[in-house]
């Protein structure tokens, strides 16, 4: 199983993912497909790519100054802490906002200098070999992915939901090499009008094979539980669950 697009298809089909899996690649190579014009936020680029578009972000084509620095397209400039506290209103005061920012950088600093361009695209288009694959999932699909990711070694990394959407969905999994699950930050979700039931599973490309090969072997994928296990869980099931209420 060497084709990353086929591995992604196996995973997405097993889970019943509604939107197209999104590839993320840091590169200065030119794609065979012409990217869509205009500037996008990172949170908007993810959604647009899941709908079929190829989006290229660069220092001058990323509409969000925070997003540009969070994913490493530019060095972080002076942060308008007062505006974030009094305007965005996600922290009690400036010291709390600074503390929050410092916490994220303990885990993963933005990859400044890795590439001047970051591409977001449907994996099926095979624009590049992805550094990350993003699956837009609901809660049950997320639970299944967490189990599939640890099927072979029993290890589940810390899931980082702190910080900005672009940090938790792109920078953290890219730099740490860890599978991650994130709901993103509320400002980003509201700005780009994310569906309320969507979150993102970020999968470093190195993890794809293990997850795909676990699909037919795990009940988190397509395997069926044993009859003994089914009988046991049926006895434990609450009356309301048995009646389907």
Beta bridge partner(s), residue 245? none
Task: Report how far apart, in Å, the C-alpha atoms of 114 and of each of 174, 180, 187, 189, 204 are.
Answer: 11, 21, 27, 27, 16
| pLDDT score of 2 | 60
Judge whether residue 14 has pLDDT over 70: yes
Half-sphere exposure of residue 107: CA atoms within 13 angstroms, side-chain side: 23
Q: What is the pLDDT of residue 183?
A: 97
Instruction: Read off the tokens for 166.
Output: 């672009």
Residue 126 in contact with residue 201, Cβ under 8 Å?
Answer: no
Give residue-wise pLDDT tens across range 162-192: 999 999 999 999 999 999 999 999 999 999 9
pLDDT at residue number 103: 84
Is the Cα dihedral 10, 11, 16, 20 positive or negative?
negative
> What mean pLDDT is reported for the chain?
93
Tokens of 22: 């999104």
The answer to which of 73-77, 188-192, 196-200, 218-222 has the lowest mean pLDDT is: 73-77
Maximum Cα–Cα distance across the chain: 61
Question: 55: how many CB neighbours lie within 10 A of its CB?
Answer: 24
**Weakest mean pLDDT among 90-104, 107-121, 175-189:** 90-104
The secondary structure of 199-212 as a DSSP string is EEEEEEGGGHHHHH
Say what angle helices 4-15 and 139-149 make with each other, to 10 degrees. Answer: 130
Query: Cα separation of 32 and 129, whole Å?
Result: 13
* Three-state SS at 66: helix
Banded model confidence at residue 121, pLDDT cuts 50, 70, 90: very high
Written as six digits, the tokens of 235 are: 């006895």
Interval 34-69: pLDDT, tens: 999 999 999 999 999 999 999 999 999 999 988 999
Please state, in angstroms and as integers, the Cα–Cα distance from residue 231 to each residue in 11, 48, 217, 225, 245, following that order.
28, 44, 20, 10, 20
Checking if the pLDDT of 244 tops 80, the result is no
CB atoms within 10 A of CB 88: 13
Structural contact between residues 20 and 26, judged by C-beta atoms closer than 8 angstroms: no
Strand 132-137: give its sheet, edge to edge. 55-57, 118-122, 22-26, 132-137, 199-204, 180-182
d(CA 232, CA 70): 48
Candidate from 20-29, 91-100, 160-169 with smallest mean pLDDT: 91-100
DSSP class per residue in 50-61: HTT--EEE-TTS
Specify whether the CB–CB gap between 34 and 106 falls below 8 A. no
Overall average pLDDT of the 128-136 stretch: 97
Locate 169 and state its tokens. Answer: 């969905």
pTM: 0.92
Residue 57 confidence (pLDDT):
97
């Amino acid at each position: 199983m060497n084709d990353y697009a086929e591995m992604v298809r196996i995973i997405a089909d097993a889970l019943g993912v509604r939107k197209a899996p999104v590839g993320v690649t840091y590169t200065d190579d030119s794609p065979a497909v012409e990217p869509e014009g205009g500037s996008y936020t990172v949170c908007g680029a993810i959604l647009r790519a899941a709908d079929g578009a190829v989006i290229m972000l660069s220092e001058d084509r990323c509409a969000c100054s925070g997003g540009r620095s969070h994913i490493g397209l530019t060095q972080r400039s002076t942060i308008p802490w007062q505006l974030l506290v009094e305007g965005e209103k996600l922290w009690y005061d400036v010291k709390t906002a600074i503390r929050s920012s410092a916490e994220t950088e303990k885990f993963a600093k933005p990859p400044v200098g890795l590439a001047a361009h970051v591409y977001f695209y449907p994996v099926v288009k095979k624009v590049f070999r992805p550094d990350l694959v993003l699956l837009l999932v609901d809660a049950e699909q997320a639970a299944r992915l967490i189990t599939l990711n640890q099927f072979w070694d029993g290890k589940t990394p810390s899931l980082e939901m702190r910080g900005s959407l672009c940090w938790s969905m792109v920078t953290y999994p890219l730099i740490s090499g860890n599978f991650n699950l994130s709901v993103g930050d509320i400002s980003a979700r509201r700005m780009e009008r994310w569906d309320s039931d969507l979150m993102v599973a970020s999968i470093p490309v190195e993890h794809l094979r293990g997850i795909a090969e676990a699909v037919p072997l795990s009940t988190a994928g397509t395997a069926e539980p044993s009859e003994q296990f089914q009988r046991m869980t049926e006895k434990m099931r609450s009356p309301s669950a048995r009646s389907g209420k």
